């Protein structure tokens, strides 16, 4: 016998019970975001590789080692999307969405792909719910988006969710700060981890992310970007904080918060959950006021967040999986009743009654047991002579005159529940 194949490492099948829970996340996201005017968008699963190189950043882990990149038959380099913000900004520019009322508010639920070390809560294909508001730099947009993510996490029952907040300033203030940080790192070079040392030139900010003990010590006395913002950035950040404070949204100011993507400017934030172990990030995002320009567009401010569907479910309290509703189970008293039984089930569904038909040739006893297992409300026992309808709650059963009488009774029974 040959070996059975399995799903690739870091991927998983969404089995029906999980599909029901995931549907719950989708419904909550839709309700919360659409009530704030966000409209759903879907971009292609793959994009030109260049899109991510230019935006996420050449020096990031994502671009350096995590992308699923391939060449298509025409020799183009394509990449399975590792994130969805850059594709959405590309779409905004491609479709001239600057002509719409600003900001353009979009949400998505899309799969993402990253070649990461697979472990609990970290997969190679995962799903993100995200929201993006493009075309406004008003601090209210920042605060409102954070509020919406908080609401989604709360509604999903994510345990121990805490918010970290910071501001990275504009590109100009960041460039000035970078020089300061590089000087600090160079002054303590011998105590840094090798990978941090290698990135002093390319991406010094990532040193804040290092797990290495020596590096962490050096970083404790490092200058903080938050202390080097210019006046406009400080004012913007203060306004965001004021709005959050007014809503009673708790957060920790964390000057070490650097996110794994290069395009962020000004406000950045991340929610963690203490129910998540090592992969504690449950959702995060920030402003990307320079991203549209990176993609050849006019300067256009934007901000967004993404949260992982799997992480939400891992961090959420256990919830009962909703059972599918079966109002009518159509049982066969004899094989010759097949056509009639088939018709009853089909007609019932057309009338809006969830109905299932016996499909496995079970004995009558087996059929009744199965009907009980799937919690059918009624069972129609069909023979050539007639139909008997059993109410599974009361146990009563009686003959019914016709197919339509079966459906009428079930519909009535449903309404009086
Ligand atoms: P990021 O785009 O890296 O800011 O990630 C946003 C959110 O996506 C995280 O907070 C996680 O909830 C989720 N996420 C990121 N990477 C993974 C992964 N490899 N597996 C599962 N979820 C992920």
pLDDT on residue 416: 45
Question: Which residue, 315, 346, 361, sits at the end of a domain?
Answer: 315
296 and 336 together in one domain:
no
Assess if residue 6 is contained within a domain. no
Assess if residue 211 is contained within a domain. no
Assess if residue 34 is contained within a domain. yes
Is a pLDDT exceeding 70 seen at residue 414? no
pLDDT on residue 417: 43
pLDDT on residue 140: 98
39 and 120 together in one domain:
yes
Assess if residue 128 is contained within a domain. yes
Distance 380 CA to ligand 1 centre (A): 49
Degrees, nearest 5: CA angle 31-32-35: 80
Assess if residue 199 is contained within a domain. no
> Any idea what the CATH number is for the domain that residue 49 is in?
3.30.930.10
Range among 54-58, 146-150, 252-256, 321-325 rated most confident? 146-150
257 and 365 together in one domain:
no
Ligand 1 site, CB within 6 A: 83, 114, 116, 122-123, 126, 128, 259-260, 281-284, 306-308, 310-311
For the CA of 279, the closest atom of ligand 1 is 11
Pocket test for ligand 1, best of 271, 284, 287 (most atoms within 8 A of CB): 284
Assess if residue 209 is contained within a domain. no
166 and 105 together in one domain:
yes
Question: Which residue, 261, 291, 315, sits at the end of a domain?
Answer: 315
Distance 116 CA to ligand 1 centre (A): 11
* Residues 27-54, mean pLDDT to the nearest whole number: 97
94 and 144 together in one domain:
yes
Distance 321 CA to ligand 1 centre (A): 24
Which one is predicted more confidently, 333 or 173? 333
311 and 332 together in one domain:
no
Is a pLDDT exceeding 80 seen at residue 260? no
> Any idea what the CATH number is for the domain that residue 374 is in?
3.40.50.800
What is the gyration radius of the CA atoms in the chain, in angstroms?
28
* Residues 276-294, mean pLDDT to the nearest whole number: 92
Sheet bearing 46-48, strands edge to edge: 46-48, 77-80, 69-71
Q: How far is Cα 293 from Cα 300, in angstroms, rounded to an integer? A: 7
Strands 125-134 and 252-253: unpaired
Burial classification of residue 401, based on how many CB atoms lie within 10 Å of its CB (0-12 exposed, 13-18 middle, 19 or more buried)? exposed
Q: What is the per-residue pLDDT across 170-216, written as a single tens digit (0 to 9) for each?
A: 888 888 888 999 999 999 999 999 999 998 988 888 888 888 999 99
263 and 400 together in one domain:
no
Q: 169-187 b/e with 16+ CB inside 10 Å = b?
A: bbeebbeebeebbeebbee
Assess if residue 194 is contained within a domain. no
- Under DSSP, the state recorded for 122 is B
Structural domain boundaries, residue 387: 328-416
Question: Which residue, 289, 315, 341, sits at the end of a domain?
Answer: 315
| CA 319 distance to own-chain centroid | 18
275 and 355 together in one domain:
no
Distance 308 CA to ligand 1 centre (A): 5
Count of domains for the chain: 2
Q: 115-143 b/e with 16+ CB inside 10 Å = b?
A: ebeeeebbbbbbbbbbbbbbbbbbbebbb
pLDDT on residue 202: 84
276 and 412 together in one domain:
no
44 and 137 together in one domain:
yes
Assess if residue 213 is contained within a domain. no
pLDDT > 90: percent of the chain? 81
Residues 6+ apart with CB under 8 A from 190: none
Kindly report the protein residue whose alpha carbon is nearest to atom 2 of ligand 1.
Answer: 83
Q: What is the per-residue pLDDT across 335-384, written as a single tens digit (0 to 9) for each?
A: 999 999 999 999 999 999 999 999 999 999 999 999 999 999 999 999 99
266 and 381 together in one domain:
no
74 and 158 together in one domain:
yes
pLDDT on residue 158: 96
């Amino acid at each position: 016998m040959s070996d059975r194949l399995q799903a690739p490492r870091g991927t998983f099948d969404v089995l029906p019970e999980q599909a029901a829970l995931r549907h719950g996340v989708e419904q909550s996201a839709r309700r919360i975001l659409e009530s704030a005017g966000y409209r759903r968008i879907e971009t292609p699963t793959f994009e030109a590789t260049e899109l991510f190189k230019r935006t996420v950043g050449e020096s990031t882990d994502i671009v350096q080692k995590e992308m699923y990149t391939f060449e298509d038959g025409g020799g183009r380099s394509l990449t399975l999307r590792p994130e969805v913000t850059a594709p959405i900004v590309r779409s905004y520019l491609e479709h001239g969405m600057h002509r719409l009322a600003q900001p353009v508010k979009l949400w998505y639920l899309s799969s993402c792909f990253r070649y990461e070390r697979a472990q609990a809560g970290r997969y190679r294909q995962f799903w993100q719910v995200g929201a993006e508001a493009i075309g406004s730099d008003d601090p209210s947009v920042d605060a409102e988006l954070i509020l919406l993510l908080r609401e989604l996490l709360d509604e999903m029952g994510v345990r121990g969710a805490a918010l970290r907040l910071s501001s990275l300033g504009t590109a100009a203030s960041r460039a000035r700060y970078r020089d300061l940080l590089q000087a600090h790192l160079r002054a303590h070079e011998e105590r840094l981890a090798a990978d941090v040392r290698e990135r002093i030139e390319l991406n010094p900010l990532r040193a804040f992310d290092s797990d290495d003990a020596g590096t962490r010590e050096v970083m404790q006395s490092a200058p903080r970007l938050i202390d080097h913002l210019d006046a406009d950035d400080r004012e913007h950040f203060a306004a965001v904080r004021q709005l959050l404070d007014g809503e009673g949204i708790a957060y920790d100011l964390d000057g070490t918060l650097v996110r794994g993507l290069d395009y962020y400017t000004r406000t950045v934030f991340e929610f963690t959950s203490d129910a998540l172990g090592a992969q504690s990030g449950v959702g995060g995002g920030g402003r990307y006021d320079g991203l549209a320009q990176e993609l050849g567009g006019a300067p256009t401010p934007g901000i967004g967040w993404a949260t992982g569907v799997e992480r939400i479910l891992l961090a959420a309290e256990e919830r009962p999986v909703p059972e599918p509703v079966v109002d009518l189970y159509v049982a066969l008293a004899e094989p010759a009743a097949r056509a009639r039984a088939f018709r009853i089930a089909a007609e019932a569904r057309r009338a809006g009654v969830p109905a299932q038909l016996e499909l496995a040739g079970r004995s009558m006893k087996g059929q009744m047991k199965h009907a009980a297992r799937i919690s059918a409300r009624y069972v129609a026992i069909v023979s050539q002579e007639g139909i008997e309808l059993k109410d599974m709650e009361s146990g009563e059963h009686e003959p019914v005159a016709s197919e339509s009488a079966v459906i009428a009774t079930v519909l009535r029974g449903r309404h009086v529940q």
